[in-house]
Amino acid sequence: MRFFVDSVDIVEIKKLTELGLVDGVTTNPSLIAKSGQNFLETIEKICAVVAGPVSAEVAATDYEDMILEGRKLAKIAKNVAIKLPLIENGVRACKTLASEGYMVNLTLCFSVSQALLAAKAGAAFVSPFVGRLDDIGIEGMDLIDDVVKVFSNYEFSTQVLVASVRNPNHVVEAALMGADIVTLPPSVLWKLFDHPLTEKGLQLFLADWEKTGQAIL
């Protein structure tokens, strides 16, 4: 499974990249708005740090402008994935842009039928949102399980990119289900390290080592 970081925080992205944990990055208008950063400049900076796909989302909702914006975003760097909403015009634009050789990430997926549309349109990635489904009382991970099963029945090249990840359990469940990618905020990625027995065991080993009076260096 690949890990994408859902963030526009270049400091955090660099830190996680140096650990070898980042295979790509996803961004969205909300992250940009909260950061107060310039969108195009931020995407360029991230692409310079991360070798894998960096999703940059169009602002348009009509087909023609989606195409124009998508092409402009793709010119920023070779690893830009054009992010489009999973609406009729988004699927249509995906078909066009994918046929031109661009990576496309169809986002805001909340059903298996939408995921099928993304695959049929030639999207490189489809992003089902698990956390937002959980918020309305629907088990988000059930969608991931269903999409992975359906895609396995065919030779779709579209990868399942699990989005709206809220906790480490989402990551583990996605891995067990065979999802291709999870995109998670840095705060959740750091939590993957945590286990009380690891900390307890480390403190015990350090205390015992201290008793030996030895040094490695």
Catalytic residue among 14, 34, 45, 83: 83
Contact present, 74 and 98 (Cβ < 8 Å) = no
* 19 alpha carbon, distance to own chain's centre: 17
* 137 alpha carbon, distance to own chain's centre: 23
Residue 163 has, within 13 A of its CA and on its CB side, a CA count of 24
Active site residue 14: no
Catalytic residues: 83
